[in-house]
Amino acid sequence: MTVVVAIAGLAFLILIHEAGHFFTALAVGMRPRRFYVGFPPALVKRVHNGVEYGLGMIPLGGYVKIPGMHRPAASDVDLHFGSALYEEPRLLPAVDRVKRPLAEGDFEGARAALRELEHATAEAKLSPGAARAARRGLEELRDALGPDSYWRQRTWKKVAVISAGPATNLLFAVLLLAVVYMIGIPSAASRRVDAVDPGTPAAHVGLKAGDTIVGVDRIPTRSFSQVRDAIKSSGGHPLVISVLRNGRYVELPPAKPTKQSGTYILGFRPSIVRYKRYGPLTSVGLAGKDVGYVAKAMGSWVVHITSPSNRKQISTPVGIVRTSSEAVHQGYRDYLSILALISLSLALLNLLPLLPLDGGHIAFSLVEGIRGKAVGRAVYERVS
């Protein structure tokens, strides 16, 4: 069940990301052709007002199809109509009448010639495969040559549509963290063990949920802060943990702390005895600060993982689901916090100036706006 909740959370983050693109595109006059949560094949799909909405079989993804992301080229016609021309050479004149104006940059002329090609294709006797490719080609060319195609739009519209996805994830991360602050964050912990993480030093020596830690290295402890400080200052040397278990005093075998994020730990979580709750405005402010701090830290991390030796540290969708499902098991506060971190990660990683990421499209749109002319299609293809 926790895996299902984790997948549902990740799917929702993708949904709102794509919804940001979708609704912004509608607002500025670029009517999307498809809006899918998940990748094909489609489990369910429906066409409404010229837009195909669908749910893909593969849940960890999604996309919005915006018409004419790239300026059409004569090579696009060859790509889609190669099979059709092989089976029906009589289509060649109609195909050439579309290619010629495209090669010359006469897009209105190509649009007019496309209608003739549509008629000729409808009358041609083609195999199912060639017919599908031709229909797909006609659809792509029709979209690319239409007045609402992406490449025809002003720079600010293109940037607005592409940046809306990451912006939605960023705002949602702030909202989730604000909810966590309003629900309440731990402000005091007890010496009672709430949970022991599998595979950790605490688990190896037999520490159990429900134990109350009363001593570290045979020195009595009267608060969780004393327990925590003793572990942090251990330098990694083995510690003897003394506990009360079902009213009996038990001394555990020596446990050697491990270092995690620069701090020594044994791998258990204390019971929380008090939570501090904040008002809505304060929560939003604190959440915004957290997002800023994490964004700065992630900036350093991105630089770190871009070296080939560190790329294994990038989480796959399976790894993300595993982390999320563990957080679900630990409680809704941890789950909301992890979901916020994933949402923020989606926003920031998508803003990297690399194609096919959103940041790459934004960068190219800005370059084209500054230059006053389009970047060559070959350049797009080389850097994608």
The tens digit of pLDDT for each residue in 187-229 reads: 778 899 999 999 999 999 999 999 999 999 999 998 999 999 9
Examine the pLDDT at 144 and tell me if it is beyond 90.
yes
Quickly count: other Cβ atoms within 10 Å of residue 282's Cβ: 13
* 2-27 vs 332-350: helix crossing angle, rounded to 10: 40
What's the confidence (pLDDT) of residue 229?
93
Residue pLDDT, tens place only, 240-287: 999 999 989 999 999 999 998 789 999 999 998 788 899 999 999 999
How many percent of the chain have pLDDT more than 70?
91
Treating both helix axes as pointing N-terminal to C-terminal, what angle do 74-87 and 128-145 enclose, rounded to 10 degrees? Answer: 160
Average pLDDT over residues 61-85: 90
Exposed, middle or buried: residue 137 (CB in 10 Å: 0-12, 13-18, 19+)?
A: buried
Q: Identify the residue whose tokens are 């990451």.
A: 166
CA distances from 99 to 140, 164, 313, 338, 377 (A): 14, 34, 46, 51, 16
Taking the C-alpha atoms of residue 375 and residue 377, their distance in angstroms, rounded to an integer, is 6
Tokens (6 digits) for 149: 């195609």
What are residue 196's DSSP bridge partners?
268
337 and 180 in contact (C-beta within 8 Å)?
yes
Question: Packing angle between helix 317-330 and helix 332-350, nearest 10 degrees?
Answer: 150
Binning pLDDT at 50, 70 and 90, where does residue 379 land?
A: confident
Q: How many CB atoms lie within 10 A of CB 124?
A: 17
Q: What is the pLDDT of residues 100-131, one digit of tens each?
A: 999 999 999 999 999 999 999 999 999 999 99
Domain ranges of the chain: 186-276
CATH T-level assignment (fold) for domain 186-276:
Pdz3 Domain (2.30.42)
Q: Are 219 and 314 in contact (CB under 8 A)?
A: no
Spatial CB neighbours of 246, under 8 Å, sequence gap ≥ 6: none
Cα–Cα distances in Å, from 201 out to 218, 240, 254? 18, 11, 9
What pLDDT does residue 1 have? 52
Q: Report the candidate in 252, 284, 250, 95 with the shortest Cα–Cα distance to residue 173.
A: 284
Band (pLDDT 50/70/90 cuts) for residue 308 is very low
Cα separation, 271 vs 294, whole angstroms: 26
Q: Quick check: 183 and 190 in contact, CB under 8 A?
A: no
Q: How far apart are CA 21 and CA 25, in angstroms?
A: 6
**Rounded to an integer, what distance in angstroms lies between the CA atom of residue 145 and that of residue 183?**
51
